[in-house]
Amino acid sequence: MVKVADERVLDVEFTEDAISVSLRDGRVITVPLVWYPRLLDATASQRKNWKIAGAATEFIGQTSTRI
């Protein structure tokens, strides 16, 4: 039997220089914020304004960013 990963997003967290996306299957993917300049320049309040958009996570604001 093949186990299929559940790649749906559960949560998103930020540090000063990284974004971490927690998946429903328990994995956490962390990448540098410099990969996403709009998020790097965003305020903490703007970074908290995200939603799941299909297979991606979308940050809503004046300029939307999808990861």
DSSP for the chain?
-PPPP---EEEEEE-SSEEEEEETTS-EEEEEGGGSHHHHHS-HHHHT-EEEETTEEEE-SSS-EE-
Judged against a pLDDT cut of 70, whether residue 65 lies above it is answered with no
Residue 54 has what pLDDT?
A: 66
Residue 8: pLDDT band (50, 70, 90) is confident
Residue 17 has what pLDDT?
A: 93
Residue in 21, 31, 32, 26 with CA at minimum distance from that of residue 58:
21
Owner of token pair 């990969």: 35
Q: Residue 13: CA atoms inside 13 Å, Cβ hemisphere, count? A: 9
Average pLDDT on 35-58 reads: 82
Judged against a pLDDT cut of 60, whether residue 34 lies above it is answered with yes
Residue 10 has what pLDDT?
A: 87
